[in-house]
Amino acid sequence: MAIQIITYQEKYKQQIIDLILDIQNNEAKINLSLEEQPDLLDIPTCYEKDGGEFWLAVEGDTVVGTLALMNKGNGNAVLKKGFVRADYRKQGILGKLYATLQEFAMEQGLKTFVFDTPSVATNCHSFFEKRGYRRITKDELPFPYEYPDRDSYLYMIQQ
């Protein structure tokens, strides 16, 4: 069955939460609780309401990947929740999700993108570095952005 990239649907909410918490806590061992990520409980308000989006990679009726964009205004955006299930990672799913996000971002006129990722997520670092993102410090953030800092790295690109 082919992987489809779709926008958020409420029926997938629990699968999204389960996928993200499993990768964060069982694979990456960063011990992030759902309470520290209230955006997962209200994706329409936290992402879609201000002109962002939350994409899913689904196979059949199963969520195998996620990537989201928060529109912060003035051409600024935050990329969040870039996760792909371990048994699907070699299929280019994050690339498909990212291509969808880029197309959306161009239509929205977004120019500056920030992505925060755990320091242990080396594959993710490599993915974004290959696309021109550079690691920055918290002091270099070009707009206000709060995130659960668990030994995170920040990456940024301006287009």
How far is the C-alpha of 48 from the C-alpha of 99, rounded, in Å? Answer: 18
Q: Which two tokens stand for residue 33?
A: 């609780």
Q: What is the pLDDT of residues 44-88, one digit of tens each?
A: 999 999 999 999 999 999 999 999 999 999 999 999 999 999 999
Q: Which two tokens stand for residue 29?
A: 């061992």
Confidence of residue 150 (pLDDT cuts 50, 70, 90): low
Q: What is the pLDDT of residues 104-122, one digit of tens each?
A: 999 999 999 999 888 888 8
Q: How many domains does the chain have?
A: 1
> Which domain CATH number covers 36?
3.40.630.30
Q: Which residues contact 128 (CB under 8 A, 6 or more apart)?
A: 115, 117, 155, 157
Domain that holds residue 56: 3-158
How far is the C-alpha of 144 from the C-alpha of 47, rounded, in Å? Answer: 16
Hey, which residues does 114 pair with through a beta bridge? 78, 156
How far is the C-alpha of 132 from the C-alpha of 126, rounded, in Å? Answer: 10
pLDDT on residue 157: 97
Model confidence, pTM: 0.94
Q: Which two tokens stand for residue 19?
A: 């996928």
